[in-house]
A and B are shown apart, each in its own frame.
Chain A
Amino acid sequence: MSQITRRQALTAGAGLLAAPALVQQVDAQGAFNWRRFAGERIEVSLTANPRSQILIQNQREFEELTGIRVGSEAIPEQQHRQKFVIEFASGRPSFDVIGISLHVNKRQVGRARWTVDLKPMIADASLTAPDFDFADFGAGAVAFSTQADGRMDTLPEFTDYFILYYNKEIFARANARIPETYDEMYETAKRLTDARAGQFGFVGRGVRNANVVLYTSFLLGTAQRDCVDANMRLITDTPDAVWAGEMYKKLMRDAAPPGVAGFNWNESQTTFAQGRAAMWLDGVGFAAPLEDGTRSRVAGKVGYAVVPRGPANHHCALFGTGFGISAASSERKRGAAWFYNQWAINKTNQLRFLTSGAGSPARQSPFRNEEAIRTSRFGQDFFTTLIESARIARPGLPEIVPVTEFRDTLGAALTNTIGGADVATELRRATEAFRPILEQSERAT
């Protein structure tokens, strides 16, 4: 029998010591284990909104489940957009998970490849929980999160539809019907306006940039529907575009409160919540404050409906948020970040979003939870409106990189129309101003 040398003994010892780690590694590559990245710490950067609030309030659940520590920040939307773009551009972002407004930053993030493609992670059974149920995400939401090259660089979290809020009391008093077309909406709004009594038929965004999403809601009802054609050429000076501009102008001039040219969503919300407007066209996320009796005079009197139909089509504007994982993070942090995304956008949290009125979830299962919907403080018409809106949703802004500049340029023209400027002239001027910027951006892409 040969004697064991000291070298052989050391090798065997090292092998024995390494065995648990190797077994863990092999196991990690096999079955899914929530505690695979235990001890890791990740940073999460979100916009300040009720949904982020829910995630931050419940993040202890995730930490206990995974052993991953989470540092979360929630920053107002506009500042958040600036912050994450600058941090990504610096090459060393301070976060691992990032909430991205897809209607604003999708192309920019996709072009720079700042976030990783999630498809390989979703396909990896060792990284994705068995109950993740990717098929539960709505097709529209998945399409919104997917880049033109097929990369899915965010996980859809929230889909925001423009809906019609109306004051049931004012409608009942005037024996008015919920409008089914935009022309009807204008007529109804005009009829319900009594400026001397401080009551207006309509309120909506008039301030530059923010107002474009109201305008595109009207445009979506035309045959043209979008602001750019298939070749990404700007078409905001066509007859359809002018029709949408005229609808915007006459609603805002004839049926909205004085000063609406300076209204963003918050002024519109205040006006509607004070019972001074009969109708308000805006995102779904305002149901909670409107139904809060301590902040709103119309709590319990708010009606919800899908947006009216246009002359050629019936669509509601779609916006959305997705959670991306920073490509600059280490591989282990990316894994932990993916675990966070799975938890943050799981069925439980998505149901919490829906029933608290924080917004419309990207998953479909919450809408099938009849028990939760029945016991919610929102009426059935709210949920019906969301389900109907999902069916007719279409992106409310063009998927272009300089989307903020587009909104500013077109938005300034729209604000001018509230002041009385000619719609066709303003739209032509704005189109001429922005077209070269878009062309340059598309060339760069």
Chain B
Amino acid sequence: MPEGVTSAQAAALSGAAADKARRKRAYARHYWPFVVPAAVVVVAVIVFPWAFTLWMSLQEWQLGSGRSFVGLANYERLLTDARFHDSIWRTLYFTALAVIIPVVLGIAAAMAFNRKFPLRGLARTIFILPMMATPVAVALVWTMMFHPQLGVLNWILSQFGIPPSMWVYDQSTVIPTLVLVEVWHWTPLVMLLVLGGLASLPVDPYEAAKIDGATSWQAFRYITLPLLAPFIMVAVIIRTIDALKAFDTIYVITQGGPGTASETINIFLYLNAFAYYNMGYASAVVVVFFTLIIGLALLLLWSRERFKDNVR
């Protein structure tokens, strides 16, 4: 018993604590039904599909025929499926290009649009127009422009005496060309995010740097960039997620071709599920892909924290 507390006071205290615990239990008893609707939705749209996908990944199941339990056979097949391995590398290659280029160009565009110049508002509006376009419609238009003989892009190149490109019609140029579409489409998003960051930067550090004789590059490198880092990181995360799940543009323009040269995991997965109807195998691909995304997301979050620490 604590010093200076009588036994009557102690009894009263323990009684109050017991009352509090009782009230808490009664509260939980009365109010837990309110959690049920949310829990049902979570189970129905997240937990159940996941559990079902996991279960399906252990089955041999082709639509139109019977289903049988095969244990980890689908995962074993993935280990030796060269087409699947290639699709992973292609996805990572595509993602790396489709993140780095728009982020670099987006930062540059944001720096440009942060300065005052005539018709700046109009220029900004025109710059963000691609972002508003429907991806499938955009993809169809690009497909026509990429045609090696009849497309407008090769005509433009010819006007400058540049030899024609095969764009998406050649295995060696297809991924960079698809990245070009992504860059055109999504650089404005990065620009908007970074521009928002630039608008919120304090002016004091720049004044101090100017007094100390810092050059524009030094001000950008040692003040702007570190202060913009959280915004850039958000842009990188959004772009990474978008690029990893890119499907519509690739499917419409190349369907994974020529050959399998642009077959990313999403296309591979789609073909297995909805062209070959191998639901069990496709489910195993989903599980592996999900694991990859989780790994990549954790890596990004870890980098973000580490970056923050360095800035501090």
Contacts and interface: CB of A to CB of B under 8 A. Distances in A.
A274 B150 contact: yes
Contact of A405 (B254, B260, B276): B276
A419 B259 CA distance: 10
A47 interface: no
A204 B169 CA distance: 14
A324 to B, nearest CB: 14
A259 B63 contact: no
B159 interface: no
A111 B149 contact: no
B255 A207 contact: yes
A20 interface: no
Contacts of B89: none
Contacts of A334: none
A88 interface: yes
B275 interface: yes
B147 A408 contact: no
A408 B271 contact: yes
Contact of A415 (B65, B150, B258): B258
Interface in A33-65: none
Contact of B276 (A259, A404, A412, A418): A404
B277 to A, nearest CB: 6
A67 interface: no
Interface stretch (A143-151, A215-223, A263-271, A339-347): A263-271
B149 A257 contact: yes
B64 A112 contact: yes
For chain A, what secondary structure do more than half of its interface residues adopt (helix, strand, loop), or is it mixed?
A: helix
A259 B259 contact: no
B169 A259 contact: yes
Contacts of B53: none
A312 to B, nearest CB: 29
A263 B276 contact: no
B25 to A, nearest CB: 46
Interface residues of A, number: 42
Contact of B65 (A112, A405, A412): A112
Nearest to A417: B259
B108 interface: no
A280 interface: no
B149 A208 contact: no
Contact of B169 (A198, A261, A402, A404): A261
B257 interface: yes
Contacts of A230: none
B148 A258 contact: yes
Contact of A85 (B64, B149, B171): B64
B164 interface: yes
How many interface residues does chain B have, given as a range?
20 to 34
Contacts of B242: none
Contact of A207 (B66, B164, B166, B258): B258
Given A86-B63, A89-B63, A416 B274 contact: no
A262 interface: yes
A204 B80 CA distance: 33
Nearest to A409: B83
B224 interface: no
B102 interface: no
Interface string A241-274: 0000000000000000111111100010011001
A261 B65 contact: no
Contacts of A276: 149
B62 interface: yes
B106 interface: no
A258 B168 CA distance: 12
Contact of A262 (B62, B65, B254, B260): B254
A412 to B, nearest CB: 4
B274 A82 contact: yes
Given A270-B150, A274-B150, A402-B276, A263 B260 contact: no
A419 to B, nearest CB: 6
Contacts of B260: 208, 412
A401 B276 CA distance: 9
Contact of A82 (B148, B150, B259, B275): B275
Nearest to B66: A444
A88 B65 CA distance: 11
A373 to B, nearest CB: 34
Contacts of B168: 262
A444 B62 contact: yes
Contacts of B147: 259, 267, 270
Nearest to B256: A208
Contacts of B62: 401, 441, 444
Which of B169, B258, B274 has the most A CB atoms < 10 Å from its CB?
B258
15 contacts: A108-B64, A108-B277, A208-B257, A208-B260, A258-B149, A258-B166, A258-B169, A271-B150, A401-B65, A404-B271, A408-B276, A415-B171, A415-B258, A416-B171, A419-B258
Please provide the 8 A-B residue pairs with the shortest distance between their CB atoms, ordered closest to farther. Answer: A259-B169, A262-B169, A259-B148, A415-B259, A112-B64, A261-B258, A89-B63, A412-B259
Given A208-B259, A258-B164, A412-B259, 20 more contacts: A82-B274, A112-B65, A208-B257, A257-B149, A258-B148, A259-B147, A259-B148, A259-B167, A259-B169, A261-B170, A261-B258, A262-B168, A262-B170, A262-B174, A271-B149, A405-B276, A411-B259, A415-B258, A415-B259, A444-B66
